[in-house]
Structure 1
Amino acid sequence: MTSVNTYTKGRNTLIYCGIDWAECTHDVALVDDSGQLLAKRHITDDAVGYKILLDLLAEYGDTEENPIPVAIETSRGLLVAVLRTGKRQVFAINPMAAARYRDRHSVSRKKSDPGDALVLANILRTDMHAHRPLPSDSDLGRAIAVLARAQQDATWNRQHISNQLRSLLREYYPAALNAAATWTNGLCRPEARELLKTAPTPTRAARLTRTQIQAALKRAGRKRGIDAEADRIREVLRTDYAHQPLLVEEALGKQMPALLVQLEAACTAADDLAKAVEESFPQHPDADVILSFPGLGVQLGARVLAEIGDDHNRFADARGLKAYAGSSPITRASGKKSSITRRWVKNDRLNHVGYLWAFSALTASPGAKAHYHSRRQAGDWHASAQRNLFNRMIGQLYHCLQTGELFDEQTAYPALIAAAA
């Protein structure tokens, strides 16, 4: 961790800034290395407020070459973007950690926004070495992070709405679920959505003609196998099922299109964001290294880059990255008792990608498959073996990103490949 530079305000001293962030206004506090409060301001969340903040920092010795470090409880927003210009170190302090520091100075649990700003400034004054500044990622890397996280959120949202729709159809329309059961992605398929729009109730679905079903498939964009698929769907829809009372069925048939509209919007958003990721991610200098790993395609690779960033000095070693991803175990020891468990505090997005990556690598890499089976034979459960495999692969990724080397199967798993052969 780099040390804070010396700033001059009448005498040589170290200056630290804390900002209590809010939606409309912010409280700012400046302290010196002795803990004395030098200045405090209440600024608005607009260009005028940002200028007041920068002028205040400049008044106390902030320069482009020697900026004053800032502690704030968020890593996003325009205020953070303004502060991150140049060489300034911005520390995003976890609100829970800030609350613990607050208790060090007051047992009455009193709280105020100016007081929180002072607490944040004192965190840097006393324990800056224990906190990590925001990484110096490139603009392209940060743009890819925005798109990859948005696409991941859209995918989760699509699945959530799809589950809601499935639950509703189980109540009154099982024929629709059976018709979509053979399709990949099920209800998220355009054919399924078009069929539900054409016949929102099972009574109407049973009256659909072969021509109407063919027309629905064509509107959904299907090009081949239309006749055979129309015959299959017609047979499924005309199978004998239990029915809700007619009035209840019609009411459910009016509720279902509302969910269908949300599902179509979620599917469109996920597809559009996936295309945006496919356009931007290959332009990144680290893309070739990431895509050389088995199990990582454009979407998963972009999510990995989004979470680890492209600042190669962010993690001191591979162990730091493994802990950040939640793949390495953690040891808890007290007296004669000790336990080794998985990590609960981690980057949840990167950890989620890790399981998908490890699962995909089982079919794409003989070495990864052999490593997984060796862990299962050693007594690991499926999830534990996958996490162990992810832990090994992310360590390999760290090495390749540091050296610029592409993944090599023989180098990554020499002993396992020889044993399998």
Structure 2
Amino acid sequence: MIYCGIDWAESHHDVAVINDAGELPAKRRITDDAEGYRILADLLADHGDDPDDRIPVCIETNRGLLVALLNQGGRKVYAINPMAASRYRDRHGVSRKKSDPGDALILANILRTDMHVHRPIPADTPQARAVAVLARAQQDAQWNRQQMSNQVRSLLREYYPAALDAFATWTNPLTRPEAREILRIAPTPAKGAELTIAQLRAALARAGRSRGIKATAERIQDVLRGEYAHQPPEVEDAMGAQLLGLPRQLDAACIAADELAAQDETAFREHPDSKIMLSFPGIGPQLGARILAEIGDDRSRFSDARALKAYVGSAPITRASGKKHHVGRRMVKNDRLNHAGYLWSFAALNASEGANAHYRARRERGDWHAAGLRHLFNRMIGRLFHCLQRREVFEEHEAFPSALRDAA
């Protein structure tokens, strides 16, 4: 058996090939380009790599062109966490020396000794990987939009509270185009107080609003002309100049989040698993895309539902040593999927009687809100694993038979 370890870097990669005895028959440094990939393929072929018997590869990343090329043709590629790789380094010496060729050798030895305890990169379809790219990009854009919105809100609280009060009746007010347009033409309290009804109506129309423009403009004018504490005029002008730059960044974040959401939804609905996921209460196109992005469509990735629950962090973890025994929530988990699970279980409370009854039962047993939602998510993710394996849609009476019987 031959094993290969690759220490990944930005401009070059160190490759180590070892056998079952731990001997090093070959090592090489390759460049990060087409020529380097060809040299790597020839190096593996010289040591027995062929389409029917692929040499497994260990590397410290699960993305990039190099990983994509290695993952083709049925080859098993193992992505090792860099922290885990550093712990393996301590097994070979206590001097704490480090080098790129040495790290490549350590990665190859991980496969030689402990390949059975590590999981290869899932063999997801290109369609699922495309959904993963769009879903993660959309989630990042949404987080960036919220971060920019918080910066604008923090600045307005320092010198322009009238604007916050004027937009307070809207949901996520600072991310709405009407609010950004008004702040663009009136970045200071003095300019806001000078706005006429006609100017406000024109700003609302430019932002895309078509209903209730007159009433909204009158309400905003009344608020902007109210009595508030003020900074000195020079300070207000300086903060207004600062504010003018933030809405432009917020505009870009909002546009990116909306465009990525539309593309993400289209790609998700075209995937075969979307019909099953959308049948679950509380899952919509955006949330379903995030879940699919993290669990993929490789049915052999998780051996059972317990493995999936541990991966998402919904299953409890036990720490026992001597007389100490503690059962608590998992801290090491897939954070993106865990966040999606919180939203899913919260939305399912109103969409499913069984889910609501399950959550209420957990609260009556003493669970806090987050613990109750986590327990519900644990139940739902197990059901999702079952439905995906059997290609079945969600059935309320099968997922929560006792809850519905008690309710009846």
**TM-score normalised to the size of structure 2?**
0.99
**What is the CA distance between 1:279 and its match in structure 2?**
1.1
CA distance in 1, matches of 2:271, 2:2: 37
**What is the CA distance between 1:337 and its match in structure 2?**
1.1
**What is the CA distance between 1:259 and its match in structure 2?**
1.1
Paired residue type of 2:141: A
**What is the CA distance between 1:64 and its match in structure 2?**
1.2
Q: Look up the match of 1:187.
A: 174
Picking from 26, 34, 46, the partner of 2:13 is: 26
Q: Look up the match of 2:82.
A: 95
Paired residue type of 1:342: R
Picking from 233, 236, 251, the partner of 1:264 is: 251
Query: Which runs of at least 4 in structure 1 moved beyond 6 Å after TM superposition?
Result: none
CA distance in 2, matches of 1:340, 1:246: 58
Picking from 160, 163, 174, the partner of 1:173 is: 160
Residues 1:402 and 2:386 are matched in the alignment: no
**What is the CA distance between 1:48 and its match in structure 2?**
0.6
Post-superposition Cα deviations, 1:5-24, rounded to whole Å, max 9, x if no partner, equal xxxxxxxxx10000000011
**Aligned runs of 1:139-218 on 2, under 5 Å?**
139-218=126-205
Paired residue type of 1:224: R
Unaligned runs of 5+ in 1: 1-13
| 2:327 alignment partner, SS class | strand
CA distance in 2, matches of 1:405, 1:286: 10
CA distance in 2, matches of 1:160, 1:208: 29
Residues 1:363 and 2:384 are matched in the alignment: no
CA distance in 2, matches of 1:378, 1:420: 18
Q: Look up the match of 2:44.
A: 57
Q: Look up the match of 2:338.
A: 351
| 1:263 alignment partner, SS class | helix
Post-superposition Cα deviations, 1:136-160, rounded to whole Å, max 9, x if no partner, equal 1000000000000000000000001
**What is the CA distance between 1:418 and its match in structure 2?**
1.6
Picking from 71, 85, 107, the partner of 1:120 is: 107
Q: Look up the match of 1:290.
A: 277
CA distance in 1, matches of 2:407, 2:206: 50
Picking from 32, 35, 41, the partner of 1:45 is: 32
Picking from 223, 241, 244, the partner of 2:210 is: 223
Q: Look up the match of 1:248.
A: 235
Taking only the aligned residue pairs, the percentage that are identical comes to 67
Q: Look up the match of 2:320.
A: 333
Q: Look up the match of 1:378.
A: 365
Alignment RMSD (CA, Å): 0.5
CA distance in 2, matches of 1:398, 1:278: 22
Paired residue type of 2:110: I
Picking from 305, 311, 320, the partner of 1:324 is: 311
CA distance in 1, matches of 2:25, 2:117: 24
Unaligned runs of 5+ in 2: none
**What is the CA distance between 1:343 and its match in structure 2?**
0.2
Report how many aligned residue pairs link the two structures. 408
**What is the CA distance between 1:39 and its match in structure 2?**
0.5
